[in-house]
Amino acid sequence: MDLIKLNKERKQIKEITAKDDGKTAAVAGWLYDSRDLGKIKFIILRDSTGEIQITAHKDKTPEDIFKAMSKTSRESVVVIKGTVKKSDKAPEGREIIPESFEVLAEAADPLPVDVSDFSKTELPKRLDYRFLDLHRRKAQAIFRIQSTLLQAYREYMTSINAIEAIFPSIISASSEGGTELYPLKYFEKKAFLSQSCQLYKQMLACSMEKVFAVFTAWRAEKHNTIRHLNESRQFDFEMAFADEFVVMDVLAKVTQHMIAQVMEKNKAELALFPEVKLKVPKTKYMTFNEAVEIMKKNKIPTGKHDLTGEAEKKLGELFPDTIVFVHDWPIAGKPFYIMPKGKDSSGGFDAIYNGMEISSGGQRVHIPELLTERLKIKGLNPKDFKDYIDSFRYGAPPHAGWGMGLERLTMLILNLPNIREAVLFPRDRDRLTP
């Protein structure tokens, strides 16, 4: 197969319209389905843009093509040339009468997983064969929508004059405290995979004012839930001359922009999730204590320094299609770098959307002496953070920021039952392949 020639001749399925009726077209893709009615054979060809019916009549189609359409297995890769014809009975109203039929890659039969849009195969097995599961239109739709989120995030951040930065993924000490780190040998030294780009984005914001990143984070937490991953992607943002309320507003606006872009650009993908009624979210602000009072009225337990999953779910029910910002968070429930406010409160916040936390953030400690004190309170050794502390000794303005999980936002927008559906190749406590 001359692939250069094919790319010049080939039409993607979504490009075939009424103007092609009666003309010859070349299409390439995967054999999604077939039907044999004796003297008439049908196959449905799928490429990354759509599906089209290929119709062969025994008395009009070359014998080798007619036979090939019967014996070629599902999900085989084929190239077909033929005449485009209007057909009211065909999906999308058009079909191709084949004049040539070439198999580029024969798929093994039977398939190990169901690749229909209504697959009954259990998620763990689908993930074992993720490369094949991604043939499904519904799976592809998730990642087309996720791609829109990524591009819309960058688009909005650029519009407010933030610069995109790339930060290290190998670190010498914990970014956020705690022990949930993946250790690795770094020549003669001990190092870790980064939990967050938190410390680095702060350093950069103190000179370039507004910075953002799409950062891969690793957390060695031994959980196994529908909402957690051990490797995830984060939208990160940091801004100088800002407190938590300034960056909460940025978070609200960028999230609204991302969702609006999905609604505009991914209508076809959203149609595969008919239960999803996506709306651009509103915003609501409340203190942590106000959130606790709401939970008490609804007889829902909360942690002393945190909200429970049940409490987050209730906020989603009480305030649908809304980003709920819970601020003035207890300082005991926030990392060492969050600015204290008074004795027990902080400049930290969480953002709850559709019943789940999508982001946490706040104003940072930019005073070296206070930062040293906060590290000690959290049981961390300031010597391990010397470079970080020193970066604030030479003209560091007040600053604030947040991180938001890409996969979790995708999960909540599409009402997916498990966050692993929103990851191409998930990494959790039990899964390291494919």
pLDDT of 223 > 90? The answer is no
Cα(402)–Cα(212) distance, integer angstroms? 10
Which of 357, 364, 366, 420 does the annotation list as catalytic? 357
Phi, psi of 271, deg, nearest 5: -65, -25
What residues have CB less than 8 Å from 312, skipping those under 6 apart? Answer: 352, 355, 356, 357
Backbone angles phi and psi of 41, in degrees to 5: -120, 140
Mean pLDDT of 271-281: 96
pTM of the prediction? 0.93
Enter the tokens of residue 58.
């025994």
- pLDDT at position 180 is 83
Q: For this structure, is 221 an active site residue?
A: yes
Residues 279, 322 contacting (CB under 8 angstroms): no
- Return the DSSP state at 417: S
Mean pLDDT over residues 255-270, rounded? 98
Type of residue at 427: R
Q: Based on the residue annotation, tell me whether 421 is a catalytic residue of this protein.
A: no
The answer to whether residue 429 is catalytic is no
pLDDT at 177 over 70: no
Q: What percent of the chain is modeled with pLDDT above 90?
A: 89
Long-range contacts (CB closer than 8 Å, 24 or more residues apart) made by 293-299: 294/318
- Catalytic annotation present for 63: no
Q: Among 10, 144, 154, 228, which one carries the catalytic annotation?
A: 228
3-state secondary structure of 2: coil
Catalytic residue among 219, 233, 374, 399: 219
Q: Residues 99-137: pLDDT tens digits? A: 999 999 999 999 999 998 888 899 999 999 999 999 999
Tell me whether residue 228 is one of the annotated catalytic residues. yes
Domains of the chain and any CATH numbers? 3-105 (2.40.50.140), 132-422 (3.30.930.10)
- The active-site residue, picked from 135, 137, 408, 420, is 408
Q: 135 catalytic, yes or no?
A: no
Q: Given 74, 360, 366, 421, which residue is catalytic?
A: 360
Determine whether 360 is an active site residue: yes
Q: What percent of the chain has pLDDT over 70?
A: 99
Catalytic residue among 227, 257, 429, 431: 227
Q: Looking at 99, 209, 221, 373, which residue is catalytic?
A: 221
Edge-to-edge strand list for the sheet holding 170-171 = 170-171, 189-193, 183-186
319 Cβ contact partners less than 8 Å away, ≥ 6 residues apart: 282, 284
- pLDDT tens string 60-100: 999 999 999 989 999 999 999 999 999 988 888 999 999 99
Q: Kindly state the tokens that stand for 168.
A: 């290290």
**pLDDT value at residue 50:** 93
Distance separating alpha carbons of residues 361 and 4, to the nearest angstrom: 50
Q: Which helix (H) or strand (E) holds 261?
A: helix 244-265
Torsion of CA 61, 67, 72, 76, to 10 degrees: -30
